[in-house]
Homo-oligomer: A and B are copies of this chain.
Amino acid sequence: MSRRIRGGETCAIARTVDVLRDPWSFLVLREAFGGVTRFADFRDALSIASDVLADRLAALVAAGILRRETYQDEGSRPRADYHLTAAGFDLLPVIGALQQWGDRHLPDHRGPTVVRRRVGSDEPLDVAFVDHHGHRVDLDEVTFERTAAYPNPRRA
């Protein structure tokens, strides 16, 4: 990676938010997780300007989060649509964690717009830290330990 990244190119958070970049990227992902694939459907769902949407979709494709495919409806010209890749699908905990936080700490009087559930069940799900046994770990038991690769732009 040759381009300079805010916050240090060795940092996984910096690299990830450099790709996601602004609120629109997260909202495009929200729609993709909801099953939207077509340009016009993203545009209509988000009321986003076409040039901004095209830019965000291209960035997500370049990062390997979305895959661009061509389809053709009968009697129409070929068009592109956008599908989550396996890497893109792995962003689900990011989107779920943002949603969980907003529902808890910036609640809206109309209530949650989306509930996280186990497929085929009414059981609500949380996003949390888990240990290698797959058991939830409370936040006050979590620590982030820096390695030698931790960015320090002043030293770089």
Q: Which residues of A contact B (CB under 8 A)?
A: 1, 6-24, 26-27, 30, 33-34, 44-48, 63-64, 87, 89-106, 108, 110-119, 123-132, 134-137, 139-147, 149-154
Contact = CB atoms under 8 A, between A and B. Distances in A.
Contact of A96 (B6, B103, B104, B129): B129
B14 A23 contact: yes
A interface: dominant SS = mixed
Nearest to A150: B113
B143 A10 contact: no
Contacts of A103: 12
Contact of A94 (B30, B87, B101, B111): B101
Contact of A7 (B30, B130, B142): B30
23 contacts: A11-B27, A12-B103, A13-B102, A14-B27, A33-B144, A92-B139, A94-B94, A96-B97, A97-B97, A99-B144, A113-B149, A114-B150, A115-B144, A116-B144, A117-B145, A118-B143, A119-B141, A125-B131, A128-B128, A128-B129, A130-B136, A134-B135, A134-B136
Given A118-B131, A144-B114, A147-B115, A108 B13 contact: no
A17 B23 contact: yes
Contacts of A140: 119
Contacts of A136: 130, 134-136
Contacts of A11: 27, 30, 102, 113-114
